[in-house]
Chains A and B, each alone.
Chain A
Amino acid sequence: MEPNFFSVLSKKIVTTVITIGSMFYSTIDGVNAEFDPIELSTKGMSVLIKTRLDNCFTEELDEIFQSGEEIIIHFYAAIFKESNKNPILEKSFYHSLRYSLVDESFEVYRSEDREIIPSLNILNAKNALAVINGYPVLSINELSSSGLYRIRLKAWMGKIHLQGMDEPLNLMYYWNSIKPSQQSKSFRRDIFKQ
């Protein structure tokens, strides 16, 4: 059936009202996710970073985690030399989570070490998702002896499509649409010499 003028008009008006209203209020109560301070260490010739995302889960996110849909947190690491604006090196990795409704357990995959952690309860699954436990961000050989370096880390979530919803759900709304970001202390190559 062809939509008549009034149904089109009313849809336009309602959509406008909802759009304007959504600028001030939302159904989603977001949190301000943030990284713990970045710890640097070495393993062989690799420089490893350790940190975790804090305050990054809500009750609603927990419900979404249990939807069976794969949830991915993307990480981005950039290494800067001196006060340059352009990074000398960029790296990306991700953590994903999937819930099995048959087994009633979570499975977390961490791309940095290509590891699948199975049969987790929600608390352990969330912990595995949030922790970066020694990501080899670069090799010591890539650092010059005189340079001063810093590492910046960012995280974000994408959109997921839940069945029964017209529009994909942007998970970043649960982080108030703010990508958590953390920068390491400036360091020199010397600190990694034993």
Chain B
Amino acid sequence: MKIRVPSFRIQIFLLVLLLVINSVLFFRNYFLDSFQTYSASVDDLNTSEKINRLYQDFNTHLDAPANTRFKEEIENILTTEQQKTLARGMFEKELVLYSQFIFVFLTLSVLILFFISFNLITRPLRRLQRATEELSRGNWTVQVKGSKFSPLDDLIVSFNTMAKELEENRNRLVQAEKESAWREMARVLAHEIKNPLTPIRLSLERLEEKFKTNSPDLNQVLSQTTSIIKEETQNLGSLATEFSQFSRLPEAVFAHYDLNNQIKKTIKPYKNQTEVVFNPGLNLPKFYADETQIKQVLANLIQNGIQSSEGDSRIKIESMYLNNSIQITIADNGKGIQPKDMTKIFEPYFTKREKGTGLGLAIVNRIVEQHRGEISVQSEWGKGTKFTLKFPLKT
């Protein structure tokens, strides 16, 4: 049988209830016992009996008038004694009953006061807890309602100030990041545009020189120059395409398809350049994703592997179904990534290659995020890199 543990509030409440009842009962019993002991000791004195005996012993020794007066006096004393005993008995009964009233009153009062003060502490705490959760979810505008009677009001004011400052700092940070990104993009763009301009300019200068000197190999130089210009303008075109892709990644269009088949098709053109090994996963369920975007992911990672290899490169691709998700691993035997760069590789415009925009892995990361997937990387400097992509079966 499963025992449900009561909430912290109920536990504290029960504890206080127990303490109050115990202490009130303790005092009540103490005073009642003391009074009963006192009553018993007074009863033990047997005053009435002694007075009666006194009357019995002496009334026969008195003459009639004196005896009448003596009897009256004794009667008065006995009446007083009897009434005092009766009053004490009644008082004792009242004491028991009234102590019950006081017990109920004290218990209720203490509990009500405790409940109010406890609420003054726990309510703002709950509000603070909710606000902290909101904050962690990214709601930077969250503010906690103050409670001027609560001892935690100062904490609430501090929290609200902190949240406000956090929001302002975050806005400043976002602005700074934007500016930094623009600067970085401008730097990369300038660098990437300059790269093809230099060979174009050098080829044109060479062509001009050959033309002025009416060189016999003018035709050959012209052919080489046009080919260089063509190649570099193509490079500029691809550069523009890559920037455009990164800035305007289209919404994923999800559909079920055969992932193994897609990988086989994607690696085909690369088999002429390098050794590509594919181990398709068995019993792989239909993959639910945007086929075009996943093809881009695969192509970017394969190209990344080829470009990082010097000489003989080898790309190994695996697909598998594991823990209700589809995994793809792409490993190369290239030079790997230096540990200090591991955290930056998915940042836009980060590249270690001379002719790279630093957008390939950033695009991969964005596509994986759009598919609610995960990407992780393991790399050993000088030995190679392995990317692991994990996609939930249905996003």
Give the interface of A toward B (CB within 8 A): 14, 17-18, 20-21, 25-27, 63-64, 66-69, 100-102, 162-165, 169
Contact = CB atoms under 8 A, between A and B. Distances in A.
Contacts of A25: 97, 100-101
B88 A102 contact: no
Interface residues of B, number: 28
A18 B97 CA distance: 9
A31 B97 CA distance: 19
Interface string B70-81: 010011001110
A17 B84 contact: no
A20 B108 CA distance: 14
Contacts of B75: 68, 100-102
Nearest to A16: B105
Most chain B beta carbons < 10 A, residue from A66, A163, A169: A163
Contact of A102 (B71, B84, B86, B102): B71
A164 B78 contact: no
Given A68-B82, A102-B74, 9 more contacts: A21-B104, A25-B97, A25-B101, A67-B79, A68-B83, A101-B48, A101-B78, A101-B79, A163-B79
Contact of B87 (A20, A27, A68, A165): A165
Instruction: Determine chain A's interface SS by DSSP, over half rule.
Output: loop
* Cβ-closest 10 pairs across A and B: A68-B79, A164-B87, A21-B101, A101-B78, A164-B84, A27-B93, A163-B83, A162-B83, A165-B87, A17-B105
Most chain B beta carbons < 10 A, residue from A26, A162, A169: A162
Contacts of B93: 27
Interface of B: 48, 52, 55, 71, 74-75, 78-80, 82-84, 86-91, 93-94, 96-98, 100-102, 104-105
Given A102-B55, A163-B84, A69 B79 contact: yes
Given A17-B102, A21-B101, A100-B75, A67 B83 contact: yes
Contact of A164 (B88, B94, B96, B105): B88
Nearest to A19: B101
Contacts of A14: 98, 102
A20 B104 CA distance: 12
Nearest to A60: B90
